[in-house]
Amino acid sequence: MTDHTHTRDDDSEDAPTRRRFLAGAGTGMVAALTPLASVSLPFGLSDPAAMSELATTYDAFGGGTATDLAIEHGTDRNPSWPVVYSEGKRDSLETWLTDSEDRKLLAEHQPSRAATIIASPGTIRSLARKDWIEQVDINIEVSHVKPVANLDTRVENSGLGLTSFQRRLVGTLSELPSTTGLATDTDAEEVTPAQVRQILNADTEAVESLDTSTVTVAVVDTGFNAAGGDILGDRAEGDDYSPRLLAESKSMITDETVVDDGLDAIEDGNGHGSFVASQILGNPTDSDYQGLMPAANLLVVKALNKDGGGTMVDIANGIRYAAEQDVDVICMSLGSPQYGTDIAAALEYAVEQGAIPVAAAGNDRQGTRWVATPASSEQAIGVGATTGQPAEDALSAYFSNIGPHPGTTDLSEGATNGAEPAVAAPGMKIRAKVGQTNGSTTIRTLSGTSMAAPLVAGVVGLLLASDSSLRGEYEDVRSRLRTHARPIPRAGSTEVGAGMVDADAAITETETGDQTDEMTDEAFSRNEAYRGLSRQQGGFLVRFLQ
């Protein structure tokens, strides 16, 4: 069974070497085909080792990935930079900040030694050269994994995200991934939460008898519309909202909390977060729209605005905030094709604090292709999307991002090499009852890995409710989930990981079979082609270097 095989880059001394490699030949096919890729080599050498590869692409006077995505501040238009300082060096950072009036502290989380600083690129490079600075990244825009509004009826390889010349070269080196067997619009039927519970084997006696009221799930997203008591239920007479909605729910954008500022603090002008939360925790009067854990508690962490966009720093700090509220599960239906060291560090902190992060794989298989950040992290359970069918019939959604990540295309310096979705869940034409900003509710149908991730978060919560010894045990939970996932024969492990999550099997530790043994020839062929493509994009060489 294939799993994440990448290892974290802990040795900063290694970073320049790897970066040099990745900037040049390491990008594999990209470097081979794009002369400009090797041009970055000498510039890469001059960057401090502590700076992330993404941060080095910021150029105030020209192009570059980070230049396009950076969050800039004030009249100077300086970016903000998440940094991690060494243990015991908080005073040194404070001294550095006050050494000049051109540096400003935007946010800080001292327990994880993380600070976000507004400064010019030159100033931040001087900071990155200090031996007490461990990591410098750049704050970029990250968005929710945008639901697929109109599912395609057919999908072709023309959207591989490669130029025609690159595709011809790949074709000569390995088999081009086939799109045959992927689920498109015509393959997907609408499914209600009640049907989803059946598909995930969450409607058995063993599952439905669980008391989930001791479980708390954080939804890091666009907010949540409580719509009175219509979504979470249980509202007492005279209360504005259900006690299951934690008063510590917070907007990372405005720093407002429900306890201090009321429900407006987390108002969801987008609806995405409300959809996700309803899938996990919904408890309306209509049982068809009951979520997987109708008695669990919800911590809303609003890190994305009404357009679905947010900053890497708000998301990272949202993850940290959720962890500090002692949540059991963190659901993140959001992502970026660019790796973020701040989010990676926040996930590490969250896992240390006992939270189990779950993340959507991404909806861009025909473009950026590989599992997005944060699903590509070792510290998050990445989730791929399938049709709303039992595992034996399900198909992988054509948009659902895949692995194994080569680690060369997301400016991660190889950190994401080998990352794949850990498991899968239905993510096509999913129905849910959603609260609106005017206090009413509506039934919406959405498609995307955003809709698959909350189902896995719900199953994780059920697992924790069944066995309290698993709380805070990220690796054990992940392993249990994968070991007892149900194989999806018509999908590759690069698409669905260990298969469809199965709540009852995970709880009762029932044997379910092995995804890699059950694949059809078509799925196997697609799987091998994806692996070949990953190798061509430098994945093999990165693994060799590691």
Partner 1 sequence: MQPTRRQFLGATAATTVGLSTLLSGSATAQVDTAEWEYKPDHVTLSFDQTELEAYQPKFETSRDARRKMVDLYGFKAESSEWDVDVYAYWLRYNFQNSATDSLGTLSSLLSFGGPDSHFRDHEPSYIFVDPEGTPDKAVVTGYHHYALDIPFDDALWTEDRLAGTRSHVHLNVVDPWHHYKSVPPPADESTATLLESTVDLENWLEARDPWVDNGFYANSHAPAIENPFVMYNDRDTWWADGTVDKQLAPLWITLGLGGARDSDDLRVED
Chain residues binding partner 1 by CB under 8 A are: 89, 91-92, 94-96, 98-101, 130, 132
Cα end-to-end distance, the chain, whole Å: 21
Strands 114-118 and 78-85: antiparallel
Q: Could you tell me which residues are beta bridge partners of residue 393?
A: none
Contact of 234 with 244, CB cutoff 8 Å:
yes
For partner 1, give the closer residue by CB, 98 or 442.
Answer: 98
Backbone angles phi, psi at 191, to 5 degrees: -130, 140
Q: Could you tell me which residues are beta bridge partners of residue 85?
A: 133
- 256: nearest Cα among 264, 331, 244, 243: 264
For partner 1, give the closer residue by CB, 96 or 530.
Answer: 96
With 0-12 CB in 10 A as exposed, 13-18 as middle and 19+ as buried, what is 417?
buried
With 0-12 CB in 10 A as exposed, 13-18 as middle and 19+ as buried, what is 117?
buried
Smallest distance from partner 1 to CB 53, Å? 25
Return the percent helix, strand and coil in the chain, to nearest 5.
35, 15, 45
Smallest distance from partner 1 to CB 86, Å? 9
Smallest distance from partner 1 to CB 137, Å? 21
For partner 1, give the closer residue by CB, 73 or 90.
Answer: 90
Smallest distance from partner 1 to CB 99, Å? 6
Smallest distance from partner 1 to CB 97, Å? 9
Q: In angstroms, what is the C-alpha Rg of the chain? A: 22
Smallest distance from partner 1 to CB 41, Å? 23
The SS3 of residue 80 is: strand
For partner 1, give the closer residue by CB, 83 or 507.
Answer: 83
Place of tokens 């962890």: 323
For partner 1, give the closer residue by CB, 63 or 88.
Answer: 88
How far apart CA 396 and CA 403 sit, in angstroms, is 13
For partner 1, give the closer residue by CB, 63 or 122.
Answer: 122
For partner 1, give the closer residue by CB, 73 or 89.
Answer: 89
Smallest distance from partner 1 to CB 127, Å? 9
